[in-house]
Amino acid sequence: MKKVLLTGGNGFFCTRFASHYKDKYEILSLGKKELDVTDEKQVLDTIMKFNPDYVIHAAAIAVTDYCNEHPDIAYKINVKGSLNIAKACKEVNAKLVFISSEQVFNGNIESGPYDEFHKPVPNTVYGQNKLEAENLLKEIIEELWIVRFTWLFDLPERGLNINANIMWNTVKSILKGEKIKAPVNEYRGMTYAKEVVEVFDKIFEIPYGTYHLGSKNDLSRYEVVKLIFEEMGLSERIDELLFKDSEKYKENPRDIRLNTDKLKQYGIEFKDTNEGIKQCITDYKLNL
Ligand SMILES: NC(=O)c1ccc[n+]([C@@H]2O[C@H](COP(=O)([O-])OP(=O)(O)OC[C@H]3O[C@@H](n4cnc5c(N)ncnc54)[C@H](OP(=O)(O)O)[C@@H]3O)[C@@H](O)[C@H]2O)c1
């Protein structure tokens, strides 16, 4: 059995990965308490001891506002922590998957979808951290896949972590009877986390390099939220709970979608966002 070490093991992605692949790989999934990626010695000792075939480096501070407000902490974890992981991987000949983000394109004026050759212009600390880590890691280790995620969505599951995402945010607001403000001028890739996890082992078989991963999406953020209402059989509550925000991003529409054709060449593909949303609602039997 191949050995996989996960950093950020208690997070949204890793708890799903570990649950899905528990019988396929010997997995060591370490939360911040067991493995603080900023501790260079602890990182080296832990990786040397487990001697993994693969390391999936998912640990990060991924909250954009927090990173902007605490750039030093963000840099220490998102950049220096990633360097510690890469150096340790190099030491034991482990192959590394670094999870990056669509947010590296947040400052690009031109619209997405962006492919892997497009020059990223990050304008947040989080996006800058991810891009800097990508570039530094390439100098340290050749056995490296950089995988830029779109925005993942899912619903809470027992024992698994959940983060803010379009599906759960919408369902929570509906449960609380709170109004949702959704921009019509915002376009992002939004991908069902289950789909991402299910194809993730294929990454280990493709050439090293940078890849964009996730769903194509032709719907604005407003249209995605509306679709969730409709698929849940709650169309009659749209007027009451969903506010169409036409002002936000009016002057400069936000479009940070990723072109994921490169991965498609290797047989790794995803449903479009609208299909992923429908699948998620069906899986959780929320189509009332
Ligand atoms: N989810 C998405 O939509 C999305 C989109 C694009 C990219 N990504 C990237 O994908 C990766 C996984 O995302 P996710 O959604 O699973 O994020 P997540 O739930 O926030 O998981 C990240 C984990 O990293 C841990 N962590 C923070 N500081 C650490 C440290 N010093 N040492 C070790 N672990 C530390 C966090 O622990 P605490 O919670 O205890 O701080 C958290 O459990 C991240 O790199 C993220 O940037 C995610």
Question: What does the pLDDT average to over 149-173?
Answer: 97
Q: With contact defined as beta carbons under 8 Å apart, do 26 and 1 qualify?
A: yes
Question: What does the pLDDT average to over 257-266?
Answer: 97
Domain of 244: which CATH number?
Answer: 3.90.25
**Are both 184 and 198 inside the same structural domain?**
no
Asked if residue 239 is part of any domain, the answer here is yes
> Percentage of residues in the chain with pLDDT exceeding 90?
98
Residue with tokens 């809470």: 156
The Cα–Cα gap between 190 and 196 comes to 11
- Which of 6, 147, 152 is the best mutation target for the ligand 1 pocket, counting ligand atoms within 8 Å of the beta carbon and taking the most? 152
Domain of 60: which CATH number?
Answer: 3.40.50.720
**Are both 132 and 21 inside the same structural domain?**
yes
Cβ(62) – ligand 1 distance below 6 Å: yes
pLDDT at 149 over 80: yes
Would you state the pLDDT for residue 84? 98
Whose CA is closest to 144, among 61, 54, 63? Answer: 54
Q: What is the DSSP string of 201-268?
A: GGGGGSPSEEEEES----S-HHHHHHHHHHHTT-GGGHHHHEEEE-STTSSS-EE--B--HHHHTTT-
pTM: 0.98
- Output the CA 58–ligand 1 centroid distance in Å: 6
- Total domains, the chain: 2
pLDDT at 237 over 80: yes
Would you state the pLDDT for residue 5? 98
For the four alpha carbons of 106, 119, 70 and 40, in that order, the dihedral sign comes to positive
Asked if residue 252 is part of any domain, the answer here is yes
Q: Is 53 helix (H, G, I), strand (E, B) or coil?
A: coil
Pick the atom of ligand 1 nearest to 149's CA.
Answer: 6
Would you state the pLDDT for residue 66? 98
The Cα–Cα gap between 277 and 224 comes to 8
Phi-psi sector, 110: left (phi>0), alpha (psi -120 to 50), beta: beta
Would you state the pLDDT for residue 265? 97
Cβ(242) – ligand 1 distance below 6 Å: no
Pick the atom of ligand 1 nearest to 63's CA.
Answer: 20
**Are both 18 and 127 inside the same structural domain?**
yes
**Are both 172 and 208 inside the same structural domain?**
no
**Are both 131 and 241 inside the same structural domain?**
no
**Are both 58 and 170 inside the same structural domain?**
no
pLDDT tens sequence across 36-68? 999 999 999 999 999 999 999 999 999 999 999
The Cα–Cα gap between 42 and 50 comes to 12
Cα→Cα distances 128→17, 100, 104, 277, Å: 26, 11, 7, 30
Would you state the pLDDT for residue 288? 75
**Are both 7 and 95 inside the same structural domain?**
yes
CA nearest ligand 1 atom 4, residue: 151
Q: With contact defined as beta carbons under 8 Å apart, do 29 and 18 qualify?
A: yes
Asked if residue 288 is part of any domain, the answer here is no
**Are both 172 and 267 inside the same structural domain?**
yes
Strand partners, 100: 148
pLDDT at 249 over 80: yes
The Cα–Cα gap between 39 and 80 comes to 9
Question: What does the pLDDT average to over 81-104?
Answer: 98
Would you state the pLDDT for residue 235? 96
Q: With contact defined as beta carbons under 8 Å apart, do 187 and 250 qualify?
A: no
Q: 197 lies in which domain range?
A: 3-152+189-213
Number of other residues whose CB lies within 10 A of the CB of residue 269 = 15
pLDDT at 203 over 90: yes
- What phi and psi values does residue 175 have, to the nearest 5 degrees? -60, -40
Q: Share the mean pLDDT of the chain.
A: 97
pLDDT at 252 over 90: no
